[in-house]
Structure 1
Amino acid sequence: MLVGSRTGFGLEFPIEQDPGLLCVDVFVGGLHVNTWDNAFYPPLLVKKLKDELGRFRTPAALPTGFTSPSESFLTAERWMYDGSRTGTSSGTEEALARCAFLEWGECTDEVTAFAFPDGDRLHLVCRVRDGGGPAWGTEARHEPTVASVSRPAVLDTLERGLALAEHEWSTRLTAPKGHL
């Protein structure tokens, strides 16, 4: 079941493959960002979805230093991963980096993503990295993917995804052993 949109922001819950994990495919701007691993530990996924909902409930202004989605992504990515934290900083890089998105555990380790608020819009920007682990020190696979979507649409996707994840997990917890 797909909630949201593959071309904007979407979560797809395919047929389960592991009774102890919850499979969820994450899409941003048409990019499937977790093709290497979509089996989330359900309590962690539920917590992360709730955290994201809390962040986006209220419209917010663009962060300090925002220029464009792509340029702001590159600035924040450089600050986070390329050692740019040393030396003097105007605070712009850190303000942009606070917009990190999709930090949902090992299933999203290889995607660097930011959600830049812009009133009732969110500029979602991400790129997948190679290296078999966290993005730190790995090579970028392609140019950043950008999707500017309505904040209410992202909230709806997160809320519906959370409801599905909570329902699926509680169903599994109450199911008799051997019937999953």
Structure 2
Amino acid sequence: MTLFGSRAGFGLEFHIEQDPGLLCVDVFVGGLQVNTWDNAFYPPLLVKKLKDELGRLSAPTPSPAWFTSPAEAFRIAESRMYDDTRTAISYGHEEDLARCEFLEWGECTDQVTAFAFPDGDWVHLACRVREVGGPDSGTEIRGEPTVASVSRTALVETLERGLATAEREWAVRLAAMKGRG
């Protein structure tokens, strides 16, 4: 097992040996493992999603004008996703809020609602793990979101190291499959 980043901030923990066709990765935000129900990613999808996150988060970006705190920004962004009503702040800021969506990495992260709010050299991560079924099927959302503020440098380094590992492991698995065929 190999951990990039940190469990307390943002971390990716690879379990290379667990599945020859998939990449098993535990994802941590603020001490919370956000994908306990499924950590077996399809390698090409994981590679693409890590590249997408890097493309979006690599350059320092000022915080949105409406940003006051990670927990409040999460509340606004989450209400935009799941409520028919819009807060005064979310109305007209749909594009800003959509750019903050984080961990949209397929089935393994379907149960987490996560956002990465830029703030210059920092990124504030906020997430909530939903009950099976989620708010769309009437499951009540409980508690405050999990929040972690991480330096942009540390976040980007974690994503880059995760991407390099995912690309390398996928190449090894692909070569093995071609060798068998």
Mark yes or no: TM-score above 0.5.
Answer: yes
More helix, by proportion: 2
Counterpart position of 1:32: 33
What SS is found at the alignment partner of 1:157?
helix
Q: Which runs of 5+ in 2 are unaligned?
A: none
Q: Residue type of the partner of 1:27? A: F
Aligned twin of 2:17: 16
Q: Partners of 1:70 and 1:15 in 2: how far apart?
A: 34
Deviation at 1:91, TM superposition (A): 1.6
Aligned to 2:180: 177
Q: Which range is displaced more, 90-99 or 5-14? A: 90-99
Corresponding residue number in structure 1 for 2:168? 167
Query: Number of matched residues?
Result: 177
Task: State the superposition RMSD in angstroms.
Answer: 2.2
Aligned AA (2:180): K
| Distance apart, 1:101 and its partner CA | 0.3
Length-normalised TM-score, structure 1: 0.90
Percent of aligned pairs with the same residue?
A: 72
Question: Equivalent residue for 1:48?
Answer: 49
Distance 1:39 1:48, change over 3 A: same
The 3-state SS of whatever aligns with 2:79 is helix
Describe the SS at the equivalent of 1:124.
strand
Q: Give me the whole-angstrom Cα distance separating, in 2, the residues matched to 1:121 and 1:110.
A: 25
Question: Equivalences for 1:66-85 in 2 at 5 Å?
Answer: 66-84=67-85
Judging changes above 3 Å, is the alpha-carbon distance between structure 1 residues 97 and 67 closer, same or farther for their aligned structure 2 residues?
Answer: farther
User: Is the CA contact 1:14–1:23 (under 8 Å) kept in the aligned structure 2?
Assistant: yes
Other structure's SS at 1:155 match: helix
Q: How many Å separate the matches in 2 of 1:77 and 1:46?
A: 26
- Letter of the 2:105 counterpart: W
The alpha-carbon deviation at position 87 of structure 1 amounts to 9.9
Question: Matches of 1:14 and 1:141 in 2, distance apart?
Answer: 30
Q: Deviations over 1:115-148 (max 9, x none)?
A: 000001000000100124x664443253200100
Deviation at 1:162, TM superposition (A): 0.3
